[in-house]
Amino acid sequence: MSGNLRPSRLSPGDVLRVGAVGLRARRARVVLSALGIAIGIATMVAVVGLSESSRADLMARLDRLGTNLLTAEAGKDPGGGDIKLPKNAVAMVERIGPVLQATASADIDARIRRSDVVPEERTAGVTAQAVRRDLLTTLGGEMSRGVWLDKASERLPTTVLGSVAAKRLGVTRVGETIMMNNTRVVVVGILKPIELVPTLDRLAMVGFPSAERYFGFDGHSTTIFERSTDASVEDVWAVLARTINPGQKGGIKVSRPSDALAAKAATDEGLTKLMLGLGAVALLVGGVGVANTMVISVLERRQEIGLRRALGATRGAIRLQFLTESLLLSALGGVTGALLGTVATYGFARFQGWTAVVPPESLAAGVAATLVIGVIAGLYPAIRASRLHPTVALNTT
C-alpha cells in the first residue's frame, strides 16, 4: 500500500495563496520593487497613448482644414530673374475640371509702419501683399475682428492684418490706421491664425485694385491657391504648373501645405520610439529590482524552505512557489503602471484639448511584458530555492 503513495499536488488556488503570503510578509520591499515595474509600464503606456492622442488630434485637424489645397508659387527663370505669372492665371486654373476654387496673392513693394512718426526702416517685420476677395473662403480662414475685403474696400486704402502682423504693429481693433509707404491705410479686419498658410499671419493684405492704384502693383500674381476634389489632388498637381505658365512650368513650385502637418506626425512618431526606448530601460531596471528582491527572499527564507522540504514539498513545488511570487510581484507593478499610464494620458489629453486615445493593445502588451519580466526575474531565485537541501536549510541561522 505504501508503494502507491504520491506527493500531493498544489492546486492553482493553493499556489496563489502561498505566493501571496511571501509578498505580504515583506510589504515595503514589495512596494519598492513593484514601483520600478510600474514606472516602466506607465511610461510606455503614456507615451503610446499621448502619441496616439496627438496623432488623432492632428488627423482631425487635417480633416477639418482639408488636404486638397495646392499652392503654386512663381520661382526664378534660368537667368535668375523673377517669373511673372499671367494676369489670367486664376482663370486658367479654374478651367481644370476637378478644381473647385482658385485664388491668388501677390507681393507688393510697400514698407509698413505703425504711424508716420515711425522711421521708414522700422517695419516691425510685417510685409504687404495684394490679395483677391475670394482668398478667405478658399483658404477656409476666419476673422478675429472686423470684416474681410469686399467690392468696395478692395478699391480703397484699407487692409486686413494677419494675427501676427496685428500684434507686431500693436493694432488691437478695427478702424485704426497704419502707414504703407506714405499712404495712410485703415485696418478693416484682423484674421485668426491660418494653419495651412501661416505666412499670411505676418501680412498686411490689400485688394488687387487698391494695390494697383496706391502701390504700383502690376497685376501679376506671385502665388496661386486652389482647391480640388480629394480624389483628384494628385492629378491636378501634375498639370497645375504647366496650366499656370505653359512656357516656364519648371519655374513654378507646386506644394501641398497640409504635407507640413503630415510631416509633423512623422516627427512625433520618431519621438515616440525614443520615449518607448526610455520606458523599456525603466522596465528593465524594474525587472532587475524584482530579481534582486526574489534572491534576497530566498536567502532570508532558507529555514522556511527547509521546513517545507522536510514536510514533503517537492523541488517543483518550491520552484513554483517562488516563481509565482515573482509573477505576482511583476503583475502588481504592471497593472499599477497600466492604470497610472492611462490616467496620465487622459489627464494630459484633456488639458491639451485632445481626444484621449489609449490603444488596448498597448495595455495588453504592457501586462504581457511584466509577466515575461516576472518569469525571467524569478527563474534563477526559484531554481536556487528548489536546490536547497532540507538539512542545510534548517541548520541556517
For the chain, 397 residues long, give each residue's pLDDT as a single digit of tens. 455 656 556 667 666 776 676 667 677 777 777 787 788 788 878 877 877 787 777 667 666 666 788 888 887 766 666 778 888 989 999 999 889 999 999 999 899 998 888 877 777 789 999 999 999 999 888 999 999 999 999 999 999 999 999 999 999 999 999 999 989 999 999 999 987 788 899 999 999 999 999 999 999 999 999 988 877 888 888 888 888 877 665 678 888 766 655 655 555 555 566 666 666 776 676 667 667 766 776 666 777 777 777 777 777 777 787 788 888 888 888 888 889 889 988 998 888 888 888 888 878 887 888 888 778 877 877 787 777 777 766 666 5
**Statement to judge: residues 245 and 300 lie in one domain:** no
Q: Is residue 355 part of a domain?
A: yes
Structural domain ending residue among the three candidates 234, 256, 278: 256
**Statement to judge: residues 213 and 334 lie in one domain:** no
Instruction: Give the pLDDT of residue 64.
Output: 62
Q: Is residue 5 part of a domain?
A: no
User: How far are the Cα atoms of 97, 311, 313 from residue 3, in angstroms, in the given order?
Assistant: 93, 18, 18
Record the cell numbers describing residue 65, joined without a space.
482644414
Instruction: Give the pLDDT of residue 362.
Output: 77
Read off the DSSP letter of residue 105. E
**Statement to judge: residues 130 and 249 lie in one domain:** yes
Count CA atoms closer than 13 A to 265's CA, side-chain side.
15
Q: How far apart are CA 147 and CA 136, in angstroms?
A: 11
Q: Is residue 4 part of a domain?
A: no
Q: Is residue 6 part of a domain?
A: no
Record the cell numbers describing residue 341, joined without a space.
499610464
Read off the DSSP letter of residue 154. G
Pair type for strands 183-191 and 158-161: parallel
Smallest CA-to-CA distance from 290 within 351, 172, 378 is with: 378
Structural domain ending residue among the three candidates 238, 256, 274: 256
The parent domain of residue 374 ranges over: 11-62+262-394
Q: Is residue 221 part of a domain?
A: yes
**Statement to judge: residues 268 and 238 lie in one domain:** no
Q: Which amino acid is at 189?
A: G
Instruction: Give the pLDDT of residue 15.
Output: 66
Q: Is residue 185 part of a domain?
A: yes
Q: How far apart are CA 53 and CA 44, in angstroms?
A: 14
**Statement to judge: residues 243 and 202 lie in one domain:** yes
**Statement to judge: residues 72 and 190 lie in one domain:** yes
Is residue 171 within 8 A of residue 162, CB to CB? The reply is no
> How many beta carbons lie within 10 A of that of residue 282, not counting itself?
20
**Statement to judge: residues 327 and 194 lie in one domain:** no
Q: Write out the E strands in the chain.
A: 69-74, 99-107, 112-113, 127-131, 143-146, 158-161, 177-180, 183-191, 203-207, 223-228, 252-255
Overall number of domains in the chain? 2
Q: Is residue 308 part of a domain?
A: yes
**Statement to judge: residues 32 and 175 lie in one domain:** no
**Statement to judge: residues 298 and 232 lie in one domain:** no
- Beta bridge partner(s), residue 183: 180
**Statement to judge: residues 269 and 248 lie in one domain:** no
Please give the torsion angle defined by the CA atoms of residues 330, 334, 336 and 342, in that order, rounded to the nearest 10 degrees.
180
**Statement to judge: residues 58 and 146 lie in one domain:** no
Record the cell numbers describing residue 27, joined without a space.
510589504
Record the cell numbers describing residue 244, joined without a space.
499656370
Burial class (CB in 10 A: 0-12, 13-18, 19+), 311: exposed
pTM, two decimals, is 0.57
Burial class (CB in 10 A: 0-12, 13-18, 19+), 361: exposed
Is residue 233 within 8 A of residue 67, CB to CB? The reply is yes
Structural domain ending residue among the three candidates 197, 232, 256: 256
Instruction: Give the pLDDT of residue 129.
Output: 95
Q: Is residue 315 part of a domain?
A: yes
Q: How far apart are CA 287 and CA 39, in angstroms?
A: 11
**Statement to judge: residues 166 and 285 lie in one domain:** no
